[in-house]
Structures are given as structure tokens and as C-alpha cells.
Amino acid sequence: MDQNRAESAYYTIEQVATRTQLTKRTLRYYEEMELLPQAERTEGNYRRYTEDDIQRILYIKSLRELLGFSLNEVRKFLQVEDERELIRTAFRQQTDVQEKIAQLDRSDELIHEQLALVEQKITGLEQMRQQLILRLEKHSHKRSILQNS
């Protein structure tokens, strides 16, 4: 890879903040919370981010926004993702069938952990949805009584 291509593969914190619509402070905080690996640094000690870093940040953002995950839940979810990636790498290199099966079993356990977190959020949202529907039904009933009196 030539020098220019190598440099273009990195992004400044300002570029990442703009692209992800997060603040530089949030990006630094994610790094402190170990949601992101320590960013590479330039000779001037400025952070440099890769496309993989940006994709991870966008994934964190979606977990927070879409599922309403707390930072601790995000950390757990990402730790499972990271472990699954290690298992995938080991699986590709493994030749022993029993070891491959054991790796698949462990990966399944990890996926079940992630599913439990997602299902917990879905259950909470469904309960909230039902409460709102019940309120609408009560209002409809009251409206009907008022209109018929």
C-alpha cells in the first residue's frame, strides 16, 4: 500500500464525529469506557481512526438508539461480539471436527446471551405499547360515554 492510500485509510476525530453525528467528547468517552479499542495516534499524539473503528461506533450508536441499551449493556454485547470474532477466526484455522463443534456450541451460547438482552428490551417495549393501547381504549370509552350523555 502506498503512503497516500495508507494515510487516507485513517480519519481524524473531527471527521469521525461528523460522520457518526457524535461529539468528540462522546468518542473519547467510548474509548475510556473500553467500548472502542485505544485509537492509534499520530506522531503529534492525535487520534487516528480506521473504517473498522467507524463501523464499530455506528454499531454502538444503533444499539443505544434502536434498542435503548445502556453503556454497560453495550459493553456486554460488544464483548460477546469480540469473543465470537475470536471463535470465528479459530474455527477457520481448526481442522479437528470435535473442536469445530465445540466452537460452534460456544458461539451459540454467546448468541443466546445477546438474544436474551434483545428480548428483554422487546418485552419492555411491548409492555409499554400495551399500556399506551389501554390508555387509548379508556379514552375511547370515556369519549363514547360523554357523547351519549
138, pLDDT greater than 70: yes
pLDDT at 1: 43
- Yes or no: say if 42 and 48 are a contact pair by the CB < 8 Å rule: yes
Lowest mean pLDDT, pick from 4-8, 31-35, 62-66, 141-145: 4-8
Tens digits of per-residue pLDDT, 79-103? Answer: 999 999 999 999 999 999 999 999 9
Q: Residues 6 or more apart from 20 whose CB is under 8 A from it?
A: 27, 54, 57, 58, 61
3, pLDDT greater than 70: no
pLDDT at 52: 93
24, pLDDT greater than 90: yes
Tens digits of per-residue pLDDT, 99-136? Answer: 999 999 999 999 999 999 899 999 999 999 999 999 99
- Yes or no: say if 14 and 24 are a contact pair by the CB < 8 Å rule: yes
**What is residue 55's three-state secondary structure?**
helix
